[in-house]
């Protein structure tokens, strides 16, 4: 996953340093927990294999959990954005979603939860891996999957987040098992309202995840939307500045050219009314009356009076040329 940028020169959206993190849910199952923190380098499985399935020894790392966690996170973040900003257009929603699930964002969250400190890898590779962007992003996604599967197996007490409107998953006694599969016969059970025993559902496990992920990503999403707005404003100002630069360049000597034409070809010299414009400098209104009695106007605000007069005259010239092809000044 790549970090978000509006263009090749835009600043990627980032996680603010002052956003508090909600409590990290505990992975109840120790086997799942170990798999979450185990990097593939620790297993040293073959890099290339023609086998379709791995054996139990080879599947002890977090690669498969990372893949599942990526999908669970993407679904949760998209749902959050839709609930927060139902009228946000698809393009902007896609940009924010991409930023939220990007490697830099997930690495930062992983570090703030200190998950990198528990990474299991060969000692000689560990110093490099615990700082790797993709390694830590994958670790965080694996942790999400670990919480999901641990809930399916043990149905722990849900996170106590008072601002959540999600339904509270039912509680049940812990049942220890040795398989990640929620369909395993060793999965935990709880007593439903009807008094019948049943296994926790995948929907309840997703609700359990959302009790953590939504409070985690909501302030980050809000901050990134603000950053996106600021980038759009800066981009708009840049376009305006480019237009001003081209106009100022073309306006050099425009008032002299306009004055000479009107003195020799029209009724009288143009009038320039200038006044101060506070922090913006000077504002000039150029009024020119042609031989037919028609008034032509051009207005400009620039840092100096001279520049404002030149641009105001240039704006009159641009209009005048469109209607008077004989204008050659």
pLDDT in tens, 118-137: 999 899 998 999 989 999 99
Distance of CA 107 to the CA centre of its chain: 15
pLDDT in tens, 137-165: 999 999 999 999 999 988 744 454 444 44
- In angstroms, the CA 7 to CA 59 distance is 40
In this predicted model, what pLDDT tens digit does every residue of 94-105 receive, in sequence order?
999 999 999 999
* Domain extent listing, the chain: 30-169+200-237, 253-323
Tell me the C-alpha to C-alpha distance, in Å, between residue 168 and each of 26, 39, 114, 207, 304: 17, 33, 27, 8, 65
Separation CA 67–CA 120 (nearest Å): 18
Q: CA–CA separation, 156 vs 189, rounded Å?
A: 11
Task: Give me the CATH topology for the region 30-169+200-237.
Answer: Ribonuclease iii, N-terminal Endonuclease Domain; Chain A (1.10.1520)
Q: Which CATH number, 3.40.50.300, 3.30.160.20, 3.30.70.141, 3.20.20.80, labels domain 253-323?
A: 3.30.160.20
Token pair belonging to 127: 């110093």
Contacts of 53 (CB under 8 A, 6+ apart): none
Segment 194-223 shows an average pLDDT of: 87
Which of 47, 39, 26 is CA-nearest to residue 65? 39
Count other Cβ atoms within 10 Å, centred on residue 135.
23
Residues 6+ apart with CB under 8 A from 192: 170, 198
Give how far Cα 146 sits from Cα of 96, 141, 153, Å. Answer: 25, 9, 11
Mean pLDDT, the chain, whole residue set:
80
* Nearest-angstrom CA–CA distance, 1 and 28: 29
Q: CB–CB of 276/308 below 8 Å? A: no
Question: pTM to 2 decimals?
Answer: 0.59
pLDDT score recorded for residue 266:
87
- With contact defined as beta carbons under 8 Å apart, do 138 and 107 qualify? no
Nearest Cα neighbor of 286 from 305, 273, 267, 301 is: 273
């Amino acid at each position: 996953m790549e970090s978000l940028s509006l263009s090749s020169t835009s600043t990627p959206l980032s996680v603010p340093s002052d956003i508090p993190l909600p409590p990290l849910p505990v992975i109840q199952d120790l086997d799942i927990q170990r798999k979450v923190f185990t990097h593939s380098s620790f297993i040293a499985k073959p890099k290339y294999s023609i086998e379709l399935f791995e054996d139990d020894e080879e599947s002890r790392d977090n690669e498969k959990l990372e893949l599942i966690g990526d999908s669970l996170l993407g679904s949760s973040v998209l749902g959050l954005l839709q609930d927060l900003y139902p009228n946000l257009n698809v393009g902007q929603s896609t940009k924010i979603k991409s930023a939220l699930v990007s490697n830099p964002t997930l690495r930062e969250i992983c570090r703030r939860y200190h998950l990198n400190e528990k990474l299991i890898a060969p000692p000689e590779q560990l110093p490099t891996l615990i700082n790797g962007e993709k390694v830590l992003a994958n670790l965080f996604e694996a942790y999400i999957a670990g919480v999901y599967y641990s809930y399916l197996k043990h149905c722990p007490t849900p996170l106590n987040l008072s601002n959540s409107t999600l339904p509270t998953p039912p509680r049940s006694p812990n049942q220890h098992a040795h398989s990640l599969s929620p369909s395993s016969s060793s999965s935990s059970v709880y007593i439903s309202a009807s008094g019948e025993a049943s296994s926790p559902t995948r929907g309840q496990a997703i609700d359990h995840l959302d009790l953590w992920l939504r409070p985690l990503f909501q302030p980050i999403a809000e901050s990134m939307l603000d950053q996106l707005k600021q980038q759009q404003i800066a981009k708009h100002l840049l376009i305006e500045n480019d237009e001003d630069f081209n106009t100022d360049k073309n306006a050099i000597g425009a008032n002299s050219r306009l004055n000479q034409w009107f003195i020799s070809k029209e009724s009288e010299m143009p009038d320039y009314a200038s006044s101060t414009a506070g922090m913006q400098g000077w504002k000039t209104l150029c009024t020119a009356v042609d031989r037919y009695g028609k008034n032509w106007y051009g207005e400009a605000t620039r840092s100096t009076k001279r520049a404002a007069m030149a641009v105001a005259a240039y704006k009159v010239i641009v209009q005048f040329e469109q209607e008077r092809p004989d204008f050659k000044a």
